[in-house]
């Protein structure tokens, strides 16, 4: 990781990125997508993704403990196999698929979905059932985009938000699924050379603020009113998606 900028600027952005990661593991999944873009201001996106993966994995441990009783087992049963397939596809095509194309696709999907909710409002009526076929599609896309750039939140939320899960269950299911996804990415990332001794040393420092941010995220989820919570999730999804579109077009 020789390209890393050793200085105040790097560490300020790295600490910010680690806090975004921690908040996402505390139940605010869209926030975690800001980590790689923020750190990419001083290092390459590929290096940033490799550096932050161990931070994600350690933060996941705190999130799993906090939400151990608040999950939707059906959603996990559908999406875990699907995300595994998506990760395998990402690994197999890592050298062939342009990262910019994936970034643009994720941004387009997330922005369209968030704008639809903002402009038309939350759909009325009963919650949508967690169907297998859509879950397999969006789950595979979640695994694939997460592997490429830690950007799995938009396709995941396209599937899960219409289910109208209770606030804590939404946060817990998100935390458990992405904990699995991040653990599953470790071996492929290592095989592709994105994990190095230098990465791990810096990641070890960033794990401390990230872990603290997990607890802050859990606290925020518990005290924020449900309507405000999902409004925040939707606007955060839109903001991150627009940033991804900007990155893809740059």
pLDDT in tens, 53-100: 899 899 888 889 888 888 999 999 999 999 999 999 989 887 777 777
> Does any domain span residue 93?
yes
Please state the pTM of the whole predicted model. Answer: 0.79
Smallest CA-to-CA distance from 59 within 27, 37, 13 is with 27
Instruction: Provide the pLDDT for residue 118.
Output: 83
> Does any domain span residue 229?
yes
Distance from C-alpha of 215 to C-alpha of 236, rounded to nearest angstrom? 19
Q: How confident is the model at residue 184 (pLDDT cuts 50, 70, 90)?
A: very high
**Number of independent structural domains in the chain:** 1
DSSP state at residue 128:
P
> Does any domain span residue 217?
yes
Residues whose CB falls within 8 Å of the CB of residue 245, separated by 6 or more in sequence, listed in order? 104, 107, 108, 111
> Does any domain span residue 3?
no
> Does any domain span residue 155?
yes
> Does any domain span residue 34?
yes
Instruction: Provide the pLDDT for residue 131.
Output: 94
Q: What domain range is 82 assigned to?
A: 8-249
Instruction: Provide the pLDDT for residue 124.
Output: 61
Query: Could you tell me what percent of the chain has a pLDDT over 70?
Result: 95
Distance from C-alpha of 90 to C-alpha of 191, rounded to nearest angstrom? 13
| pLDDT of residue 125 exceeding 70 | no
Instruction: Provide the pLDDT for residue 151.
Output: 75
Instruction: Provide the pLDDT for residue 123.
Output: 58
Residue 163 φ then ψ, to 5° = -75, -15
SS3 of residue 29 by DSSP: helix
Give the residue-averaged pLDDT of 14-40: 82
């Amino acid at each position: 990781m020789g390209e890393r900028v050793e200085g105040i600027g790097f560490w300020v952005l790295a600490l910010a990125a680690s806090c975004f990661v921690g908040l996402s593991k505390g139940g605010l999944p869209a926030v975690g997508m800001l980590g790689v873009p923020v750190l990419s201001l001083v290092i390459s996106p590929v290096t940033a993704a490799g550096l932050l993966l161990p931070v994600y994995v350690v933060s996941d441990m705190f999130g799993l403990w906090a939400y151990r009783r608040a999950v939707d087992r059906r959603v996990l049963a559908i999406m875990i196999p699907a995300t595994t397939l998506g990760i395998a596809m990402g690994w197999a095509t890592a050298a062939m698929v342009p990262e910019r194309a994936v970034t643009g696709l994720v941004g387009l999907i997330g922005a369209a979905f968030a704008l639809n909710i903002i402009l038309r409002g939350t759909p009325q009526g009963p919650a949508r059932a967690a169907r297998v076929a859509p879950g397999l599609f969006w789950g595979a896309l979640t695994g694939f985009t997460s592997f490429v750039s830690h950007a799995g939140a938009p396709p995941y939320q396209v599937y899960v938000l219409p289910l109208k899960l209770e606030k804590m269950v939404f946060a817990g299911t998100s935390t458990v699924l992405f904990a699995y996804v991040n653990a599953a990415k470790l071996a492929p990332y290592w095989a592709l050379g994105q994990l190095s001794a230098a990465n791990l040393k810096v990641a070890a420092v960033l794990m401390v603020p990230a872990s603290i941010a997990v607890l802050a995220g859990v606290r925020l989820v518990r005290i924020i009113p449900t309507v405000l919570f999902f409004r925040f999730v939707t606007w955060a999804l839109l903001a991150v998606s627009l940033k991804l579109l900007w990155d893809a077009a740059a």
